[in-house]
Amino acid sequence: AVPVESVRPLSISIIGWWTIICGLIAVLSMLQGWPVVVFAWVLTGPSAVVLHLLFGSVGLYTGYGLLRLKPPVRVLAIWLYGFGGVSSTMFYGIPGRDRRLAAFRSALFVGSHRTSSSHIPALVYLLITLIMTAVPLYFLITTKPAFDRANAGSQ
């Protein structure tokens, strides 16, 4: 038997599974009552639950679609990771960052005996989130031919 080579690039497999895992984490975060950060806002309560459910659903759908090399889902993934990068940049980059971080930590550790102080500078978080959005965006953009070939082969 001759092994069949996958037309899906390894980078897209990794991004697809990562997006599915993040979707599952969003759903679990909803069940834990964790806050949601969107742009410069820290949302809690029912609005956080709705956004966790929305982000989780979109993440699961997007990850699955990437694993199936669906071209429209590739575009959705580019928007999703772009949204994450812009949201993180705004959260950490515009004035009031310390107040937003304090609100996030306060909402995250409600009823906990754990301390909410952090010794990691916010700009380190910004750098990490930008890398975690830039790398998938690079591969989503540069692997377009694989999506086109898969789409042409399925017609």
More confident of the two residues 30 and 155: 30
Residues composing the chain? 155
Predicted pLDDT of residue 105: 81
Per-residue pLDDT reduced to its tens digit, 58-88: 999 999 999 999 999 999 999 999 999 999 8
Per-residue pLDDT reduced to its tens digit, 9-28: 999 999 999 999 999 999 99
Measure CA of the first residue to CA of the last residue in the chain; give whole Å: 27
Q: Flag whether pLDDT at 99 surpasses 90.
A: no
Average of per-residue pLDDT values in the chain? 86
| pLDDT band at residue 154 using 50, 70 and 90 as cut-offs | low
| pLDDT band at residue 141 using 50, 70 and 90 as cut-offs | very high
Cβ–Cβ contacts within 10 Å for residue 99, how many?
11
Predicted pLDDT of residue 107: 81
Predicted pLDDT of residue 30: 87
Q: Residue 35: which residues within 8 A CB-CB, separation 6 or more?
A: 42, 43, 44, 48, 103, 104, 107, 108
More confident of the two residues 103 and 27: 27
